[in-house]
Amino acid sequence: MSVPKIEQISAPVILGEGPHWDHDAQALYYIDIKGSTVHKYVPATNTHTTVKIDGGEVSLVIPLEGTKDKFVITVGRNVAILTWDGESSTPTEVKYVSAVDNEKELQDNRLNDGKADPIGRLWAGTMGAESDPEDKFPLTLGSLFSFSKDWKPTKHLSNITVSNGLAWSEDLKSMYYIDSPTRKVEAFDFDAESGKIYGMATDTKGKLWVACFEGSQVIRVDPANGKLLRCIPIPALKVTSVAFGGPQLDELYVTSADILTEEQKKMYPESGATFRVTGLGVKGYPGQAVKL
């Protein structure tokens, strides 16, 4: 088994999340939820750029297919289209196109993790407002949604605490999903054409890479039987998400959080940074853009 190399490729942020590899642009996008910023990293030139978004916490960034300067982002409970040249510190435009959890009792919710499925349909889930610095979450206030091309949301799951960790199997028959506090990866039968999910999947292909928020590591899991295949230690106490990237799609990018006590920060000074892991001996898939 190859020995991986782990390198820090960014300065720490508060809550790094949502890494997305744009293979056409050869660039990594990720966000700082607490900083309400979208980040772009170009490995070929070692260039970092950041844009600040007003209006609420930003939890995901996904390119809009067929464009070079438009991205789907979430701001609070809203889905928006960000127009950004990838260089400026302020956006050209942020256009709101949809909102979820509009009920009075859910006004403090926000969207969390999200991705486009393999045919370009946006999926994103919500969670209740966390209580800093304890990092506690109100239980079962969130839901999981998909969005049509005209941005109409469809609710698929409710009673979610922290919606997280979406992925799909290569044959498009299974969708993987995490409600973080449950410490489980759930697999649902998935209909790519209709965008519906149907209970638990019983047989899958491929392997899952999962970031362990409490545990300083990324793990590789066989979804067919839940067997732990590999652990990669990361020099950050709370890792948050992963994405494959690089010219050959054999580099694993790992985001992390700096939501720590002062004592923890002394022990893990790189927390909040984004890391690149090479030498894994495996390849992944590029990020899927949103299609309209």
Amino acid at 213: F
Shortest CA distance to 76 belongs to which of 121, 117, 116, 128?
Answer: 128
The predicted pLDDT at position 201 comes to: 32
The predicted pLDDT at position 204 comes to: 32
Shortest CA distance to 9 belongs to which of 43, 60, 32?
Answer: 43
Residue-wise pLDDT tens digits, 263-281? 999 999 999 999 999 999 9
Q: For the domain with range 5-129+137-278, which CATH number is right: 2.30.30.100, 2.120.10.30, 2.60.40.10, 3.40.50.10490? A: 2.120.10.30
- Whether pLDDT at 203 is above 50: no
Tokens of 185: 């990866």
The predicted pLDDT at position 208 comes to: 79
| pLDDT, mean of residues 44-49 | 97
- Whether pLDDT at 288 is above 50: yes
Residue-wise pLDDT tens digits, 228-275? 888 999 999 999 999 999 999 999 999 999 999 999 999 999 999 999
As a whole number of Å, the end-to-end CA separation of the chain is 42
As a three-state string, the secondary structure of the chain is CCCCEEEECCCCCCEEEEEEEECCCCEEEEEECCCCEEEEEECCCCEEEEEECCCCCEEEEEEECCCCCEEEEEECCEEEEEECCCCCCCCCEEEEEEECCCCHHHCCCEEEEEEECCCCCEEEEEECCCECCCCECCCCCEEEEEECCCCCEEEEEEEECEEEEEEECCCCCEEEEEEHHHCCCEEEEEECCCCEEEEECCCCCCCEEEEECCCCEEEEEECCCCEEEEEEECCCCEEEEEEEECCCCCEEEEEEECCCCHHHHHHCCCCCCCEEEECCCCCCCCCCCECC
Burial class (CB in 10 A: 0-12, 13-18, 19+), 99: middle
| 285/82 Cα distance (integer angstroms) | 24
| 135/152 Cα distance (integer angstroms) | 31
Query: Please, are residues 88 and 94 in contact by the beta-carbon 8 Å criterion?
Result: no
CA torsion 188→143→241→26, rounded to 10°?
90
Residue-wise pLDDT tens digits, 70-101? 999 999 999 999 999 999 999 999 999 999 99
The predicted pLDDT at position 202 comes to: 31
Q: Please state the length of the chain.
A: 292
Residue-wise pLDDT tens digits, 217-227? 998 888 778 88
The predicted pLDDT at position 206 comes to: 57
Domain boundaries of the chain, sorted by first residue = 5-129+137-278
Confidence class for position 154, pLDDT limits 50, 70, 90: very high
